[in-house]
Amino acid sequence: MEYVIQAEKLSKTFGEFKAVDEISFQVSKGEIFGFLGANGAGKTTAMRMLCGLSIPSSGKATVAGFDVYKQTELIKKNIGYMSQKFSLYEDLTVKENMQFYGGIYGKSNQFIKEKTAAIIEQLSLQNEAGKLVGSLPLGWKQKLAFSVAIFHEPAIVFLDEPTGGVDPVTRREFWGMIYQAADRGITVFVTTHYMDEAEYCNRVSIMVDGRIEALDSPHGLKKTFGTDSMDSVFLKLARGAARSAD
Amino acid sequence: MFILLGMPIVEIIIFGFALTNEVKNSKIAVFDQSADQASVAITQELNASRYFDVVKDIHSYSDIDAAFRKGTMKLAVVFPKNFHEDLLHLNKAQVQLIADASDPNVATTLTNYATAIILDYQDRITQGREVPYTIKTEQRMLYNPQLKGAYSFVPGVMAMVLMLICTMMTAVTIVKEKETGTMEIMLVSPLQPFKIIVAKAVPYLLLSLINIASILLLSTFVLGVPIQGNLLLLIGEGVLFIITCLTLGLLISTSTDSQQTAMFISLTGMFLPTVMLSGFMFPIENMPRFLQIISNIVPARWFYSIVKDVMIKGLGFTAVWKETLILVGMTLALLALSIKKFKIRLA
Amino acid sequence: MGSVVVNNIVKTYGTKKAQVTALNGISFEVAPGELFGIIGPDGAGKTSLFRILTTLMLADKGEASVDGYDVVKDLKAIRKRVGYMPGRFSLYQDLTVAENLEFFATIFNTSIEENYDLIKDIYSQIEPFKNRRAGKLSGGMKQKLALSCALIHYPSVLFLDEPTTGVDAVSRKEFWEMLRRLKEKGITILVSTPYMDEASLCDRVALMQEGKLMSVNTPSGIVEQFGKPLLAVRSGNMLQLLRDLKQCREVEDAYPFGEYHHAVMKKDFSQQELEACLKNHPGVTIKAIQPDIEDCFMDLMKN
């Protein structure tokens, strides 16, 4: 099995506070990996380390084959990132946004041109390609943001609550896009507050107080905890949390 | 965008053409006690130069004093009795130059030009004579005998600091409430919106009073600029100006939604005009007509003039009532406008 | 007489050229003491509606009243009796927890003691941190403080704009439990949320999308309106299953839903034909289920 993310006893401490406490896990190529946890459980810190934005305090990890201590620049080149807040440039057009991001990742004009055309086709944005992103409805923006996050064909894409506030139909279309990306071999690492979305993941980890308390397929988790929904698995685990902070 | 690109152009034009320290057609008083051949000739030369316009209806030292108080003239040339006779018989005579030195730069420039013209005349009549005529100029710097720069910049700084603190801070703090959303909750409370504003403004009023006090203390004890006039009057005028600035800040806050914009408007819209058009850096009399007209709506111009009159020249309320009235009028107008514009709702 | 009455409210933003209709003829009524949910995604118009009802904004058309007072004319009366918690955390970040509460008590002409029993439940949970600055609180605690502040004057109607957005499942559950207890004290509560699963916690809900109310009913009433058979289907290859389901003649709509796919069926479908259509999926599980609010929302959206 080819692992795209490998973390071993990865930790981050801020003074006395162990934000992330010895987490170990692997994510394989093309997997959709759900990363759950209550606010303050340490998800964001862990994700930042994996994206090369924050140097771990101890432990080992590689992302797309690169070391999170020394090769952060290479990591950044090989991942995509999208969050609910991080959006596209609202005062650039759909096309310009794609050209801009393609340029950032050093893609050739030829590549950018073809890829842009493909995305516009896929999202049926032919009539909107020249419009400012700011004028699009939220759901479209989110789908477009995802397309831009994987524009440079990264090995992994990190999605931080990508579907917050999006209507249920668009949310499903969004997940359809995630499946397609995973099908192409892009590994998807996603956090969400929607428990039904956890079900769409191949495997789910649940963080409590800086540690990974459970890691299994949704089906396996439900079986282990003897319930029939991810919601109650999550509540069972998170209720035991000692800390709550952002 | 327009502002970013336009600002430098406007500034260059204003600085380059409009704002100059050069003296042009400045009104000067000639108090001619001898009215003889020589004094009339010199007066004509003064009048003929492009620097000066001579005003002739000055018949006593008190006329000069009055003109200075009114601020219409900044230089007086006084010919003593028997000017020409002295020159002919003693080969030397004296001219007195009295300057309003509350603005030391202007005073120095004016006296220098006048002296040069007089010396020119002296050289001309001396030509071909063995014993030269000497016209001695005696200079008197009124209000600021040592020509200290502080005399002019203390009032200027006062106007600037108050403008900056009151206008910008009021605007920014109110807009900040809009930005963080606390204004939203405040509005949905029985609290009267105007009370919110007053509550926001009062701390800055107090803060500014402390500023006035510290500026005055520093200028008196460290810079050696004495307060010639009535201290209470000075402070009273200060409070008036603070209120003007606060209402100005309020007006800005009612028309903007982000702290950045509020800051920008306060800086470019208020601060720069205060510096450039209040008469503090560049004499208003020397500005082109249109800038002089614009300077009339800059509150700091009036305040600067009040402070100079009261603090440096030691004049009383009778000398500044006009400026005071203008400031009061401005404040009321601004207040009315911002009350009208203040929204009891969000949008 | 409803506690909140909304009649044909229209609100548009922007210039004539690029006009956005935030609210497009909204009407509903909320009974006194009701816990009423407004459910819809971002951009549905929830915040605009709340701002109009809390007198912060004027509608272009239509009228509304809160507690019998008109939202335009009786501005002051309404501002005295509603509690409002905007979507963003809107307290003074650099005041402490206790100072914030004190401050809000003062501006509403009351004292913390006067209505302490109302907020005791909620405030006691953050009281240990009362000397901490509000800006340093965690998300869940900020929310509790904001709710305490909104309740300090014992409002008769409480408006909560997306109080649970971005909050984790545990805190969300706690928050709804608090709302239940407030409701028992007779306070009318209007709460907006993008989370469909929260609908079942309300007495009645309005489903909102693109400035329109698609349905106003009790949660069970909305489910009853669905009126079509719904199946949950599962197999070894879920991605292929979804594609195949969409091909089946009797399937009106199919979409992923948790670990199953939901298939909305035509009224008189036959189970055999469906099984035949999915013959490529050995071990497929098919069971008839009750729709939940999300199913209904999607159904209404598509119509």
ipTM: 0.80
| Most A CBs within 10 Å, among C170, C193, C285, to test the A interface | C170
- Dihedral sign (CA C53, C55, C58, C63): positive
Confidence of residue A243 (pLDDT cuts 50, 70, 90): low
Mean pLDDT of A193-222: 90
Contacts of B105 (CB under 8 A, 6+ apart): B21, B149, B152
The answer to whether residues C293 and C166 belong to one domain is no
Q: Which of B169, B156, B170 is nearest to B338 (CA)?
A: B170
- Cα C14 to chain centroid distance, Å, stands at 26
A135 vs C133 pLDDT, higher one: C133
For chain A, positions 67-106, list CB contacts with chain C under 8 A. Answer: none
Percent residues over pLDDT 90 in chain C? 51
Mean pLDDT of A92-99: 91
A 10 A CB-CB count for B6 gives 10
* Model confidence at A22: pLDDT above 70: yes
Long-range contacts of B55-60 (CB under 8 A, 24+ apart): B55/B27, B55/B28, B55/B29, B55/B30, B56/B30, B58/B29, B58/B30, B58/B31, B59/B31, B60/B31
* Model confidence at A246: pLDDT above 60: no
Long-range contacts of C12-21 (CB under 8 A, 24+ apart): C12/C60, C18/A135, C21/C211
* CATH homologous superfamily of A3-239: P-loop containing nucleotide triphosphate hydrolases (3.40.50.300)
Asked whether the beta carbons of residue C138 and residue A246 sit closer than 8 angstroms, the reply is yes
Percent residues over pLDDT 70 in chain C? 98
Confidence of residue A24 (pLDDT cuts 50, 70, 90): very high
Q: Looking at residue B325, what is its pLDDT?
A: 92
Q: Looking at residue B21, what is its pLDDT?
A: 61
Using the CB atoms, write b or e for A41-52: b if 16+ within 10 Å.
Answer: bbbbbbbbbbbb
B91 vs A185 pLDDT, higher one: A185
Asked whether the beta carbons of residue C140 and residue A39 sit closer than 8 angstroms, the reply is yes
DSSP letters, B123-191, are HHHHTT-SSPPEEEEEEEEES-TT--THHHHHHHHHHHHHIIIIIIIHHHHHHHHHHHTHHHHHHTSSS
The three state secondary structure string of chain C is CCCEEEEEEEEEECCCCCCEEEEEEEEEEECCCCEEEEECCCCCCHHHHHHHHCCCCCCCEEEEEECCEECCCCHHHHHHHEEEECCCCCCCCCCEHHHHHHHHHHHCCCCCCCCHHHHHHHHHHHHHHCCCEHHHCCHHHHHHHHHHHHHCCCCCEEEECCCCCCCCHHHHHHHHHHHHHHHHCCCEEEEEECCHHHHHHCCEEEEEECCEEEEEECHHHHHHHCCCCEEEEECCCHHHHHHHHHHCCCEEEEEEECCEEEEEECCCCCHHHHHHHCCCCCCCEEEEECCCHHHHHHHHHHC
Q: Looking at residue B1, what is its pLDDT?
A: 60
Q: What is the pLDDT of residues C217-253, one digit of tens each?
A: 999 999 999 989 999 998 888 888 988 999 998 899 9
Q: Looking at residue A242, what is its pLDDT?
A: 62
Asked whether the beta carbons of residue A167 and residue C256 sit closer than 8 angstroms, the reply is no
Residue-level length of chain C: 303
Mean pLDDT of C114-140: 86
Whole-number Å distance between alpha carbons of A68 and A55: 7
Q: Does domain B14-142 bear CATH number 3.30.70.20?
A: no
Q: Which of A106, A109, A20 is nearest to A68 (CA)?
A: A20
Mean pLDDT of B323-332: 92
Q: What is the pLDDT of residues B227-255, one digit of tens each?
A: 888 888 988 999 999 999 998 888 888 88
What mean pLDDT value characterizes chain A? Answer: 88
Asked whether the beta carbons of residue B190 and residue C93 sit closer than 8 angstroms, the reply is no
Structure tokens at B298: 């800059």
* Model confidence at A32: pLDDT above 90: yes
Q: What is the pLDDT of residues B170-209, one digit of tens each?
A: 888 888 888 887 888 888 888 777 788 888 888 888 988 8
| Most C CBs within 10 Å, among A167, A175, A192, A213, to test the C interface | A167
Cα-based distances in Å from C131 to A195, B275, C99, C127:
35, 45, 8, 9
Whole-number Å distance between alpha carbons of A199 and A34: 9
**Rg value, chain C, Cα:** 23
- What residue spans define the domains of chain A? 3-239
Confidence of residue B3 (pLDDT cuts 50, 70, 90): low
Paired with B32 in beta bridges are B79
Asked whether the beta carbons of residue B185 and residue C90 sit closer than 8 angstroms, the reply is yes
Q: Please name the residue of chain A whose CA is at the shortest distance from the CA of residue C261.
A: A200
Q: Which chains pack against A, by 3+ Cβ pairs within 8 A?
A: C
**Rg value, chain B, Cα:** 25
* Model confidence at C180: pLDDT above 70: yes
Q: Identity (one letter) of the amino acid at B72? A: T
Whole-number Å distance between alpha carbons of B46 and B119: 11
Query: Any idea which residue has 């292929």 for tokens?
Result: C240
* Model confidence at B169: pLDDT above 80: yes
Q: Looking at residue A234, what is its pLDDT?
A: 87
Q: Identity (one letter) of the amino acid at B51? A: Y
Last residue of a domain, one of C224, C251, C285: C224
Q: Looking at residue A89, what is its pLDDT?
A: 86
* Model confidence at A233: pLDDT above 50: yes
| Interface B:C, Cβ pairs < 8 A | 54
* Inter-axis angle of helices B193-221 and B170-180, nearest 10: 140
Whole-number Å distance between alpha carbons of B110 and C288: 101
> Is any Cβ of chain B less than 8 angstroms from the Cβ of C109?
yes
For the ranges B97-101, B140-144, C151-155, the lowest mean pLDDT is seen at: B140-144
Q: Which of B31, B40, B49, B38 is nearest to B114 (CA)?
A: B49
Asked whether the beta carbons of residue B189 and residue C104 sit closer than 8 angstroms, the reply is yes
| Number of folded domains that form chain C | 2
First-to-last CA distance in chain A?
35
Structure tokens at A119: 């995305």
3-state SS class at B314: coil
Query: Any idea which residue has 């009351």 for tokens?
Result: C110
Residue B191 with chain C: CB contacts under 8 Å = 107-108
Q: Looking at residue B346, what is its pLDDT?
A: 63
3-state SS class at A232: helix
Asked whether the beta carbons of residue A38 and residue C168 sit closer than 8 angstroms, the reply is yes
For CATH 3.40.1710.10, list the domain ranges present in chain B: 14-142
Which of C40, C255, C259 has the CB atom closest to A199's CB atom?
A: C259
* Model confidence at B135: pLDDT above 70: yes
CB B85, CB B37: distance < 8 Å: no
With touching defined as 3 or more inter-chain CB pairs under 8 Å, the answer for chains A and C is yes
Helix/strand/coil percentages in chain B, nearest 5: 65, 10, 25
Q: Looking at residue C264, what is its pLDDT?
A: 93
Tell me the pairing of strands C188-193 and C230-234.
unpaired
Tell me how close the Cα of A168 comes to any Cα of chain C, in angstroms.
6
Query: Any idea which residue has 């032919």 for tokens?
Result: A126
Contacts of B226 (CB under 8 A, 6+ apart): B220
The answer to whether residues C130 and C190 belong to one domain is yes
CB C60, CB C102: distance < 8 Å: no
Which of C42, C173, C294 has the CB atom closest to A168's CB atom?
A: C294
The Cα angle at residue C143 between residues C137 and C148, in degrees rounded to 5: 105
Asked whether the beta carbons of residue C239 and residue A231 sit closer than 8 angstroms, the reply is no
The answer to whether residues C10 and C38 belong to one domain is yes
Q: What is the pLDDT of residues A63-91, one digit of tens each?
A: 999 999 999 889 988 999 988 765 688 88
* Model confidence at A244: pLDDT above 60: no
Query: Any idea which residue has 């928050």 for tokens?
Result: C175
* Model confidence at C168: pLDDT above 60: yes
The answer to whether residues C163 and C257 belong to one domain is no
> Is any Cβ of chain C less than 8 angstroms from the Cβ of A242?
no
Q: What is the pLDDT of residues C63-85, one digit of tens each?
A: 999 999 999 999 889 988 899 99
Q: Looking at residue B17, what is its pLDDT?
A: 66
Which of A165, A179, A230 has the CB atom closest to C42's CB atom?
A: A165
The answer to whether residues C197 and C287 belong to one domain is no
Q: What is the pLDDT of residues C189-199, one digit of tens each?
A: 999 999 888 99
The answer to whether residues C129 and C275 belong to one domain is no
> Is any Cβ of chain A less than 8 angstroms from the Cβ of C87?
no
- Cα A2 to chain centroid distance, Å, stands at 19
> Is any Cβ of chain A less than 8 angstroms from the Cβ of C74?
no
Query: Any idea which residue has 């401050």 for tokens?
Result: C103
The answer to whether residues C89 and C39 belong to one domain is yes
Q: What is the pLDDT of residues B148-161, one digit of tens each?
A: 777 777 888 888 88
Which CATH number covers residue C110?
3.40.50.300
Q: Which of C199, C296, C295 is nearest to C255 (CA)?
A: C295
With touching defined as 3 or more inter-chain CB pairs under 8 Å, the answer for chains A and B is no
Q: Looking at residue B138, what is its pLDDT?
A: 86
The answer to whether residues C294 and C207 belong to one domain is no
Asked whether the beta carbons of residue C84 and residue B185 sit closer than 8 angstroms, the reply is yes
> Is any Cβ of chain C less than 8 angstroms from the Cβ of A58?
no
Q: Which chains pack against B, by 3+ Cβ pairs within 8 A?
A: C
Residue B194 with chain C: CB contacts under 8 Å = none
Last residue of a domain, one of C224, C239, C269: C224
Asked whether the beta carbons of residue B187 and residue C79 sit closer than 8 angstroms, the reply is yes
Asked whether the beta carbons of residue C75 and residue B344 sit closer than 8 angstroms, the reply is yes
Q: Looking at residue A245, what is its pLDDT?
A: 44
Asked whether the beta carbons of residue A229 and residue C139 sit closer than 8 angstroms, the reply is no
Structure tokens at C275: 């099984």
Range of the domain at C236: 226-302
Q: Please name the residue of chain B whose CA is at the shortest distance from the CA of residue C12.
A: B347
Structure tokens at A9: 């006893």
Q: Looking at residue C24, what is its pLDDT?
A: 92
